[in-house]
Structure 1
């Protein structure tokens, strides 16, 4: 009976250790953010004609907070540069906007949808309000590090009335970048 009690105790301890180590391993390999995490991302965009006479590029920096594992709110700063053939001036502009995104799923690939609201300013644009809808995909290469692609439909407005009028005259903005949750 002593051997049987020792064997039962050994099996029970072994099973407990196996379950505990499995739970710890799963916690260590959780992919993506947790509620309360911060996020920082850096993205870029660019285009040129075939002769590189007309070119533009831009950078976008995002900083946000996860209200839940799916909901991210934050601020986004974008800076854009354009070199147009035949024009002696280079064009710089920027935009600052708040955003909110909702992420789907708990796996490495996480599609998201969201909206942004803020202002645009600089050369070649009227300083005005900007609003937009966005969609994209984050892919976690490591538990807290991801690459992302995002498309935004943006429209400019000076007032509530012009927002309705300008919605049909919006523009698409595309970015590709990487980020980290911490």
Structure 2
């Protein structure tokens, strides 16, 4: 078992070198330019071992490149949870609508990004409220205009702007993986 773990770590350690070599040898123009748009579709989900407690979500983004490295956009998320025996309500639906602004590196296939969002969350079993978020992630271009996306957000919720600072300590993380396209 220890040998398998060591081998896995060694192979994973070579991934950045393989990505860098692939970027250096490529003549294709990957990624967007100022004025381009992008659309991405992401998903998440989990279930208990017996599939009696399940949740899943989907998120769609539509963004515009204000500069080669800066994107502003709108993101819509919809989530569903089926929680047997947890409360009087078995099925929960909720959604979140938000605007975002992200900055990303502009060269190569692998593009780290970071930014923030501001929006509103609503639905069953939650208090409808505004939220702010910090986010970061990676895009990896598999084709000139198509990428795989991984993103993590830290969101904090508030009803009034005066509550936002105190709410930061009580935030939540959201993770997503998806595919996107520049056009």
Matched residue count: 156
Offset from partner CA, 1:62-84 (integer Å, 9 cap, x none): 00000111101000000000010
Q: State the TM-score, normalizing by the size of structure 2.
A: 0.82
Aligned to 1:71: 70
Counterpart CA distance in 2 for 1:77 and 1:165 is 26
Alignment RMSD (CA, Å): 1.3
Match of 2:5 in 1: none
Segments ≥4 residues shifted beyond 6 Å: none
**CA displacement, residues 25-58 of structure 1 (integer Å, 9 cap, x when unaligned):** 95xx211000000000000011122222221100
Cα distance, 1:94 vs. partner?
0.1
Segments of 5+ residues of structure 1 without an aligned counterpart are: 1-24
| Shift of residue 125, structure 1, vs aligned partner | 0.9
Q: Which stretch of the first structure deviates more once superposed, 48-57 or 66-75?
A: 48-57
CA shift, 1:162, in A, is 1.3
Aligned to 1:178: 179
Match of 1:46 in 2: 45
Tell me the distance in 2 between the aligned counterparts of 1:151 and 1:180: 19
Distance 1:97 1:77 in 2: 7
> Which region of structure 1 is more displaced relative to structure 2, 47-56 or 149-158?
47-56
TM-score (norm 1): 0.82
Is residue 89 of structure 1 aligned with residue 90 of structure 2?
A: yes
**Preserved contact between residue 48 and residue 54 of structure 2 (Cα < 8 Å):** yes
Conservation of the 8 A alpha-carbon contact between 2:68 and 2:106 = no
C-alpha distance in structure 2 between counterparts of 1:53 and 1:105, whole Å: 44
State the structure with more CA Rg: 1
Shift of 1:95: 0.4
- Tell me the CA shift for residue 155 of structure 1: 0.8
